[in-house]
Amino acid sequence: MTNLDSIDKKILKILQSNARITNKELASQLGLSPPPTLERVKKLEKQGYIKGYFALLDPKKIDLGTTMLVSVSLHQHSQNAIDEFYQAIKDLEEVIECYHVTGEDDFLLKVVCKDILEYEKFVRQKLSNLNSLGKMKSSVVLSTFKDLHEYPIEG
């Protein structure tokens, strides 16, 4: 992030909190005119600082009210086993986040389902059938106190 000046950082902060802001509104908040503002945003997109724009949905409203955090350990730690697991997880739509982690377990998954019965079905029919899966531990998310989708940006 060392290549970013204070205006670029401000653009990132603003877009994280409101990606639907118009270029004109963004320019006004930055104290710039719209053309250079748009040019800066396009540059941040091209350089990969901005990976995309999306709508943040309420999972309960779309009948995905149960969130599980699942710790997974693989049978082996070979590159083939890890690659196989990556590929398999990509195809499981219930897994909305997957982290390769250090420590006792190998991966941490965030899984969303309608309810516990649907989660059980997911485990029995999909997750437990992965060849590379060694063991897993599931934790039910009872409530969420902090769920930010904004990264802290200094400057």
pLDDT higher than 60, residue 1: no
Domain 6-46: state its class: mainly alpha
Ranges of each domain in the chain: 6-46, 66-140
pTM exceeds cut of 0.95: no
Write down the pLDDT at residue 64.
Answer: 96
* pLDDT at residue 97 tops 80: yes
* CATH number for the segment(s) 66-140: 3.30.70.920
Task: Decide if pLDDT at 123 tops 90.
Answer: yes
DSSP 22: -
Integer angstrom CA distances of residue 68 from 58, 103, 113, 132: 16, 19, 8, 20
How far is Cα 26 from Cα 19, in angstroms, rounded to an integer?
10
The pLDDT score that the predictor gives to residue 31 is: 96
DSSP-derived letter for residue 128 is G
* Residue pLDDT, tens place only, 17-58: 999 999 999 999 999 999 999 999 999 999 999 999 999 899
Domains 6-46 and 66-140 share a fold: no
CA distance 126 to 103: 25
